[in-house]
A = this chain, B = another copy of it.
Amino acid sequence: MTTIHNANIVEIRRDLHAYPETGWTEFRTTALVAAELDRLGYKLYLGSDAIAVDERLGVPSDDELAGALRRAQEADAPEEYLDRMNGVTGLIGEKRFGDGTGPTVGVRVDMDALDRTEAGDNTHRPAQEGFASRYPDKMHACGHDGHTAIGIGIARTLENDDEAEFNGTLKLFFQPAEEGGRGGLPMSRTPHLENIDYFFALHLGLGNETGKIIAGYDRPLSNAKLDVEFSGEPAHAGKAPEKGKNALQAAATAIQNLYAIPRHSDGATRINVGKLTSLNAQNVIAERTEMRVEVRGETAALNESMLDAAERILIHSAAMHNVNLETELYGKSTTFVSDQSAIDIVTKAASTIDNVDEIVEQETIGASEDASFLINRVQELGGKCTYVGIGASNTAGHHTAYFDIDETALQIGVDVLVQTITRCAIE
């Protein structure tokens, strides 16, 4: 794309799709959004002005960040905004409309991609039409490219639509690092969540066909992700097995007991060990084993109780095998309940949009979602919130190599949100 300003939201989505950036490396994405919001007259809060830097979770290594920044520069990200980010991705744009006497409305979209290789064959539209990922092991496989495009679409529409009667203040939150629940918490710990009257987050797809709107998509499981490292001592497994301190035995003990954390009568809980690597040769006692663990709970308290139990098991699995343990919180999300008044606004807004053919008031999200931290913060301060499901027919499941979205849903998303924002002033 020559410049973002000349592109429509489908083109923008396709451009972002071609240059996917994973959590905390959304340099190009942030810079492009910043350029467009700047043009539209928004006040910009970039990088450390949008994120409580010290509370970021699951930040990649300095090397990875530097590499990603270089890649963004090579892919024509506007230098001005890259400079202003100062190494930290994420952006909040704020603008007063009309006489400014109306409510303050927040909208949050997320921008990050996944570590996964996109399908390259012609049965996959992005490949066939030439906008598949340029990066071998990164992919927008969850629709956040579309969310970002919708965010820009909202800004443009409110600007250009003469009929729009919105006379309050709009804050657009372009959140980094949603995957793994890493960016929601640090974004919620900024002053930007204060004085918000209405707050909306959104998600495309999730099994909902184009034309369906879920006005109050809520009650996700709370979630926490731990990075775990067991460090023992290597030894020759034939000559002196007793000299080893076996990190892999510690991990196996942990796995057996983690899945066996008792079920809870207060509600659903979850536990998983998704990743494990332990790389010694066959004849060497395992000296270093890394795991990625995840817990969930129907409530924040259940999630905390799972996290406590997991940590206790990890500590004693390590001590039992005389190995050291390091754990680091990789990501976290909590749960929330949408506010009826916010749900009502979305429901009414959606009913005015032509291409919407089904509106569901409330439904439970199966997945976890770190917009929960922003929503909790706004609600704590008295604002009303909901999370909106925007139906978007998918060719394949989220997080898979053939994931793609029906792009007609982008405009529906823009329309529903613009109507919603406008109606906040009316209610």
Q: Which residues of A contact B (CB under 8 A)?
A: 115, 180, 221, 223, 225, 236-242, 244, 246, 248-249, 251-253, 255-257, 259-260, 262-266, 268-286, 289, 292-294, 296, 305, 312-313, 315-317, 319-322, 330, 366-368, 399
Which of B221, B259, B283, B366 is the one whose CB lies under 8 Å from A274?
B283
* Whole-angstrom distance between the Cβ of A321 and the nearest chain B Cβ: 8
Given A253-B257, A319-B312, A276:B248 Cβ within 8 A: yes
Which of B223, B238, B272, B320 is the one whose CB lies under 8 Å from A366?
B238
Are B259 and A244 in contact (CB-based, < 8 A)?
A: no
Mind listing 24 A-B residue pairs with CB under 8 Å?
Answer: A238-B366, A238-B368, A239-B366, A240-B265, A241-B264, A241-B265, A242-B263, A242-B264, A242-B305, A248-B255, A249-B257, A249-B259, A259-B260, A272-B285, A274-B280, A274-B286, A275-B280, A275-B286, A282-B292, A282-B293, A283-B294, A284-B399, A317-B320, A319-B319
* Whole-angstrom distance between the Cβ of A282 and the nearest chain B Cβ: 4
- Knowing that A242-B266, A249-B255 are A-B contacts, what are 10 other residue pairs whose CB atoms are under 8 Å apart, sorted by A's residue number? A237-B270, A239-B367, A246-B259, A256-B257, A263-B263, A272-B285, A274-B283, A275-B286, A282-B292, A282-B330
Given A282-B180, A283-B294, A263:B256 Cβ within 8 A: no
Residues in B neighbouring A283, C-beta threshold 8 A:
272, 274, 294, 368
Given A274-B284, A320-B312, A249:B241 Cβ within 8 A: no
Are B320 and A316 in contact (CB-based, < 8 A)?
A: yes
Residues in B neighbouring A366, C-beta threshold 8 A:
236, 238-240, 265
Residues in B neighbouring A241, C-beta threshold 8 A:
262-265, 270, 272
* Whole-angstrom distance between the Cβ of A249 and the nearest chain B Cβ: 6
Nearest to A318 among chain B residues (CB) is B316
What CA separation (Å) do A283 and B265 show in the bound complex?
14
Given A272-B237, A275-B280, A256:B252 Cβ within 8 A: yes
Q: Which of A242, A244, A246, A260 has the most CB of B within 10 A?
A: A260
Residues in B neighbouring A225, C-beta threshold 8 A:
282
* Whole-angstrom distance between the Cβ of A238 and the nearest chain B Cβ: 5
What CA separation (Å) do A244 and B260 show in the bound complex?
13
Residues in B neighbouring A313, C-beta threshold 8 A:
320
Are B282 and A274 in contact (CB-based, < 8 A)?
A: yes
What CA separation (Å) do A368 and B282 show in the bound complex?
12
What CA separation (Å) do A320 and B315 show in the bound complex?
8
Are B270 and A260 in contact (CB-based, < 8 A)?
A: no
Residues in B neighbouring A256, C-beta threshold 8 A:
249, 252-253, 256-257, 260
* Whole-angstrom distance between the Cβ of A196 and the nearest chain B Cβ: 28
* Whole-angstrom distance between the Cβ of A173 and the nearest chain B Cβ: 23
Which of B259, B277, B293 is the one whose CB lies under 8 Å from A277?
B277
Residues in B neighbouring A315, C-beta threshold 8 A:
319-320
Given A242-B305, A257-B253, A294-B283, A268:B276 Cβ within 8 A: no
* Whole-angstrom distance between the Cβ of A147 and the nearest chain B Cβ: 19
Are A282 and B275 in contact (CB-based, < 8 A)?
A: yes
What CA separation (Å) do A270 and B255 show in the bound complex?
19
Residues in B neighbouring A305, C-beta threshold 8 A:
242
Residues in B neighbouring A255, C-beta threshold 8 A:
248-249, 252
Are A244 and B223 in contact (CB-based, < 8 A)?
A: no
Query: 8 smallest A-B Cβ distances: which pairs?
Result: A259-B260, A237-B272, A316-B320, A252-B255, A239-B366, A274-B282, A282-B294, A316-B316
Nearest to A242 among chain B residues (CB) is B264
